[in-house]
Structure 1
Amino acid sequence: MPSTLIPPPHAPAASPGPAAEAPPVRLSLPPAGDHPRAVDGVWWPRSKDAAAELPGLIAAVDERLGEMTLRVGLHVDAWSDIPHRIPAPGRAVRVGWFRAMDPERVTLIVRGQKDVTLRVIPPEASAESAEAALAGSAASHGATSAGSA
């Protein structure tokens, strides 16, 4: 199955008029049950603001794997504005902050799955290098490139 860019859930408009749609999450992740590696996929966030980036990532992983993310772990010094919890449909996802964790990784605890570890491409990475990493991840699990947005 191909890896895809998954659009985040639509947020209600803050004011009358059409709501601006958030850009898709830049994620390469194989389907559920196909995670035999130390790093399961690649994520290219648009910023280091965990509060802004994690809701879209959680929604994308939930959609891709068909299960709910219960917890997210990340390196405390690699991110700004790290909340204790992220609101998600029907729950609040706990966020753990760690210093012993690789700053270039994010780990998600997903119900019914083994831990999902994503390599984080720095937001400031060039589109060329980030797209190559996303495509390489997709190719390593027999899928097509996630592309870019």
Structure 2
Amino acid sequence: MKLKLIVILALLTCRAVIAKGQAPTHVPLMDDTWRLIAQKKYVKNAQYKMVPAFPQRLQDMENQVIELSGYIIPLKAEMEYTNFMLAVVPYDQCAYCGQGDIPSMIEVYAKRAVGASDRPVRMRGKLVLNRTGDKRSEIFLLEAEIKK
């Protein structure tokens, strides 16, 4: 009887520890555009430099105005931003961006300052792809504004 009680308490303790260790839930934001962004790969160019290669459907969207939902990932410690990263997962999970099926973050340049938020926002702006392999972001959303 005593052994049975100890086993039950141990199982309940393990369950509580596992539940606390799980990543917090978030609003699922994956849509067709984020899925295209997740298909980005890297290839060697003529100078043997690794550069991003984008799926054709994403290339077809370049320089067009698109809408994309995501979480604001600040680049500076401020309360409002005109330049920030947009991710499909919240800040506390952005270490996983670009891994597995979670797409890379994109860099946003907003027309007007956007307030800090831990909730998803819907942005509208011009999609620009950077194929150079330089140290800048690979995907940009320019002249962006929050879509309400």
Q: Which has the larger radius of gyration?
A: 2
The structure where strand makes up a greater share of residues is 2
TM, length-normalised to structure 2:
0.32
Bigger relative contact order, structure 1 or 2 (CA pairs below 8 A, ≥6 apart): 1
